[in-house]
Structure 1
Amino acid sequence: MAHGVATVWVPVTDMKRAVAFYRDSLCLEVKSEGEDWSELDVGGLMIGLNAREDAQVSTSGGAVITFQPDGSIEEERDDLVGRGADIRGEISEHPWGRILPFKDSEGNDLQLYSPPKA
């Protein structure tokens, strides 16, 4: 049985563009960078950027990576817009928290999530 997540793999079509997005737009630490594989650290979880030969920019979604913002979700939205992220809607309110959908440079679905206020 699984007891943790080792790596999240994200397909990319342009490694340099993808690394720049995750480094510059999301402010993640690049641990290694290569032509076919790059690794980023997200608070101890590794995101692997995988430049597969058959990767294509996604338009229909798939898996979603959800990030916890450092500040308020509104502040982080404004920062992401300023860094060129593709915001895909407004902040939505739910009993379990708030989310803001956006896409990375390769068309992968991402979100910001903040838990409900206690």
Structure 2
Amino acid sequence: MASGVATVWVPVENMSRAVRFYGETLGLDVRNEGDDWTEFDANGLTIGLNARESTHKGRGGGAVITFQPDRDLYDEVVRLTDAGVEFVDEVSQHPWGRIASFKDSEGNDLQLFEAPSPE
């Protein structure tokens, strides 16, 4: 039985490009940085960027990470779009919240999630 998430590993092809994306574009704090492994703090969750081995190249994606924006979801979509992020589709509305899907610099699937407002 799992009691929580310790670390999310995200495969990347270009570490410096991915570090810029997660650090500058998403605004996460770097814990430690290296050529093959870089860690970010995502509000207590460690996101580890793991360099792909040359035998495993490909932009097929990997883990899906869902982020909770610090502000209104639509405001964050605008901010990220202005930073060059391309969203896969429009924000989707569900009874359990709203989702905005996009890809990181390495082709991995990411999302913004906003829970519904309490009535």
Is the contact made by 1:86 and 1:104 (CA closer than 8 Å) also made in structure 2?
no
- Alpha-carbon RMSD: 1.1
Write the letter of the residue equivalent to 1:96: W
**Aligned-pair identity (%):** 59
Q: Equivalent residue for 2:88?
A: 88
Give the 3 Å change call, closer, same or farther, for CA 36–62 of structure 1 in structure 2. closer
Q: Which moved more, 1:97-106 or 1:84-93?
A: 84-93
TM-score of the two chains, using structure 1 as the length reference:
0.93
User: 2 CA distance for matches of 1:3 and 1:91?
Assistant: 31
Q: CA deviation at 1:62?
A: 5.0
Alignment of 1:7-18 (within 5 A): 7-18=7-18
SS in 2 for 1:22: helix
Q: Deviations over 1:26-54 (max 9, x none)?
A: 00001111110000000000000000211
Write the letter of the residue equivalent to 2:111: Q
Is the contact made by 2:9 and 2:63 (CA closer than 8 Å) also made in structure 1?
no
Write the letter of the residue equivalent to 1:80: L
User: 2 CA distance for matches of 1:49 and 1:13?
Assistant: 10
User: 1 CA distance for matches of 2:39 and 2:63?
Assistant: 18
Is the contact made by 1:35 and 1:51 (CA closer than 8 Å) also made in structure 2?
yes
Q: Equivalent residue for 2:64?
A: 64
Write the letter of the residue equivalent to 1:57: R
Q: CA deviation at 1:55?
A: 3.8
User: 2 CA distance for matches of 1:92 and 1:51?
Assistant: 31
Q: Equivalent residue for 1:32?
A: 32
Write the letter of the residue equivalent to 2:50: N
User: 2 CA distance for matches of 1:62 and 1:15?
Assistant: 15
Structure 1 outlier segments of 4+, above 4 Å: none
Instruction: Give ranges in structure 1 of 5+ residues lacking alignment.
Output: none
Q: Does 1:79 align with 2:84?
A: no
Instruction: Give ranges in structure 2 of 5+ residues lacking alignment.
Output: none
